[in-house]
Amino acid sequence: MSHTYQIGQLIDFLQRQRLDAVREKRAQAQLSDALTAEGWSFKREYPLGEQGVVDFLVEVGGCRVALELKAKAQRMRIYRQLERYAEHPDVDCLLLLTGTAMALPATIHGKPAGVISLGGGWL
């Protein structure tokens, strides 16, 4: 299977999750439980050195996806955070799961990026 197909499966999985859209730490715990239950390979609170700590680093067929979960976020602040993550060699792709209506460019520092609505699983 190609990385693109497998990342698509991760995105589909994330879109179906019914996570707490108000309490971010609770949503992160719920997502951790869901990822574990479905057998996804991931690390929580993965340190990226000077670039910060990403909420989840999910291994998808050899591709390392930095997954950040934000219930609410200032758009420019979260974008700058994702830019820092994209600079790290352990990150191959970026996904933002958020309750904030926003868009991202297709790539950040040459790495694929995407946004998933935190409320999508409730529709």
CATH of the domain at 60: 3.40.1350
Q: How much is the average pLDDT of 114-119?
A: 86
Please give the model's pTM, rounded to 2 decimal places: 0.92
User: Minimal CA–CA distance to 115: which of 9, 13, 11?
Assistant: 11
Give the pLDDT of residue 73.
Answer: 75
From residue 41, give the alpha-carbon distance in Å to each of 32, 78, 94, 107: 10, 24, 16, 23
Mean pLDDT value across the chain:
90
Structure tokens at 35: 């990822």
pLDDT tens digits, residue range 40-67? 999 999 999 999 999 999 999 889 999 9
Could you tell me the pLDDT band of residue 21, with boundaries at 50, 70 and 90?
confident
Within 10 Å of residue 45's Cβ, how many Cβ atoms?
11
| R_g (Cα) of the chain, nearest Å | 13
Query: Quick one: residue 110, left, alpha or beta (phi over 0 = left, psi -120 to 50 = alpha)?
Result: left
The number of domains in the chain is 1
Give the pLDDT of residue 91.
Answer: 97
Q: How much is the average pLDDT of 9-24?
A: 89
Q: What's at 65, amino acid-wise?
A: V
Could you list the residue range(s) of the whole structural domain that residue 30 is in? 3-122
